[in-house]
């Protein structure tokens, strides 16, 4: 009989090597499975003997811990994939989670910045006078110009950026590649940052560094966490009311494009969404825009 950790590692290896899941997704799945392991240990259950009622009890267990419905639904989705893998590899005979219903996910509209708030954000940035300030400005400009995920921006390499044609090559979820254009402000911010970057790496004797965005301390590849911290500090300066995060810039990019008349399928391509339904949530964000258009255009409102 194999242990839980063996099954977990086999599953995570499968996600990485065969399904090409991102590292962040694999880490999240691993954390969800660790929580299920704690549940099994608490009730002295083994993975081979888990029944459907045990999975339902796990849902109740999570709910009592006051996890939000979306979080519980995500954990159950991970569990279903895990048991499906075990069944397909014949480690178990039945998938006990197959017919278990997950809590209905609540509709959470993503936070975003208005055009006025974006202008305020860029006005609040310090002048790009050294490696750090130039890097931080380039990060913000490129985020808003492209709508990249934080992991995509963190993992950009110098060869991925075509400065002449103002294009960036992105390796997204599932190893899918896409090309995203960027505008003049982002180009100018990158050009200034690259000048400081070359001088900095020359000083560090590390001119072979391939990643675009680097740490100030050692000139090494900056992590997702590092970028999130930089962006969150900047966002705090412009809004204490909204719950803003690094992901808000991605939502802002999509919302502003939609408000300016961009085609939804074009936005889907730029964001790297596998399904149009994922992109369609931005139509909810533009309801205020639609109301303004109606009131300004409909004869009964004149």
Q: What is the pLDDT of residues 30-77, one digit of tens each?
A: 999 999 999 999 888 888 889 989 988 888 888 787 777 778 888 888
Is 102 part of a structural domain of the chain? no
Is 169 part of a structural domain of the chain? yes
Q: Taking 70 as the threshold, does the pLDDT of residue 288 lie above it? A: no
**Spatial separation of the C-alpha atoms in residues 221 and 98, rounded to whole Å:** 41
Q: Based on the residue annotation, tell me whether 273 is a catalytic residue of this protein.
A: yes
Is 160 part of a structural domain of the chain? yes
3-class DSSP string for 144-183: HHHCCCHHHHHCCEHHHEECCCCEEEEECHHHCEEEEECC
**Spatial separation of the C-alpha atoms in residues 20 and 48, rounded to whole Å:** 27
Do 277 and 128 lie in a common domain? yes
Q: Based on the residue annotation, tell me whether 74 is a catalytic residue of this protein.
A: no
Residues 263-282 have pLDDT tens digits of: 878 888 888 887 776 676 66
Is 110 part of a structural domain of the chain? no
Do 146 and 238 lie in a common domain? yes
Among the options 137, 250, 251, 256, which is catalytic? Answer: 250
Q: Taking 50 as the threshold, does the pLDDT of residue 302 lie above it? A: no
Q: Based on the residue annotation, tell me whether 298 is a catalytic residue of this protein.
A: no
The average pLDDT across 203-211 equals 84
Q: Based on the residue annotation, tell me whether 247 is a catalytic residue of this protein.
A: yes
Do 162 and 266 lie in a common domain? yes
Do 19 and 79 lie in a common domain? yes
pLDDT value at residue 180: 92
Do 144 and 71 lie in a common domain? no
73, 88, 103: which is the final residue of a domain? 88
Q: Taking 80 as the threshold, does the pLDDT of residue 148 lie above it? A: yes
Do 49 and 125 lie in a common domain? no
Is 93 part of a structural domain of the chain? no
Do 68 and 151 lie in a common domain? no
Residues 76-109 have pLDDT tens digits of: 889 999 999 999 999 998 899 888 877 665 555 5
CATH of the domain at 121: 1.10.443.10
Do 123 and 68 lie in a common domain? no
Among the options 105, 120, 169, 173, which is catalytic? Answer: 173
Range of the domain at 178: 115-292
Cβ atoms 171, 102 nearer than 8 A: no
Indicate whether this model's pTM tops 0.85.
Answer: no
Among the options 149, 197, 251, 256, which is catalytic? Answer: 149
Do 160 and 241 lie in a common domain? yes
Instruction: Report the number of distinct structural domains present in the chain.
Output: 2
Among the options 169, 178, 247, 281, which is catalytic? Answer: 247
In Å, how far are 8, 27, 74, 135 from 32, measured between CA atoms? Answer: 10, 9, 9, 35
Cβ atoms 61, 39 nearer than 8 A: yes
Q: Based on the residue annotation, tell me whether 282 is a catalytic residue of this protein.
A: yes
């Amino acid at each position: 009989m194999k242990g839980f950790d063996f099954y977990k590692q086999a599953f995570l290896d499968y996600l990485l090597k065969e399904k090409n899941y991102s590292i962040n997704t694999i880490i999240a799945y691993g954390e969800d499975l660790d929580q299920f392991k704690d549940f099994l240990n608490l009730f002295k259950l083994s993975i081979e003997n888990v029944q459907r009622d045990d999975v339902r009890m796990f849902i109740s267990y999570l709910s009592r811990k006051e996890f939000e419905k979306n979080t519980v639904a995500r954990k159950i989705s991970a569990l279903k994939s895990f048991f499906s893998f075990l069944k397909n590899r014949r480690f178990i005979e039945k998938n006990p989670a197959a017919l278990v219903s997950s809590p209905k996910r609540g509709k959470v509209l993503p936070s975003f910045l208005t055009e006025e708030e974006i202008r305020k954000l860029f006005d609040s940035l310090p002048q790009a006078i050294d490696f750090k300030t130039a890097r931080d400005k380039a990060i913000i400009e490129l985020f808003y110009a492209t709508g990249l995920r934080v992991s995509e921006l963190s993992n950009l390499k110098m060869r991925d950026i075509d400065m002449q044609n103002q294009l960036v090559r992105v390796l997204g979820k599932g190893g899918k590649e896409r090309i995203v254009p960027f505008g003049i402000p982002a180009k100018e911010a990158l050009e200034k940052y690259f000048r400081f970057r070359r001088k900095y790496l020359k000083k560090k004797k590390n001119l072979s560094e391939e990643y675009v965005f680097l740490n100030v301390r050692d000139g090494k590849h900056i992590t997702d966490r590092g970028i999130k911290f930089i962006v969150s500090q900047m966002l705090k300066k412009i809004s204490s009311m909204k719950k803003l995060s690094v992901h808000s810039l991605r939502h802002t990019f999509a919302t502003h494009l939609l408000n300016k008349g961009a085609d939804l399928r074009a936005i889907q391509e730029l964001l790297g969404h596998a399904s149009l339904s994922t992109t369609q949530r931005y139509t909810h964000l533009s309801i205020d825009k639609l109301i303004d258009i109606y009131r300004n255009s409909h004869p009964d409102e004149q």
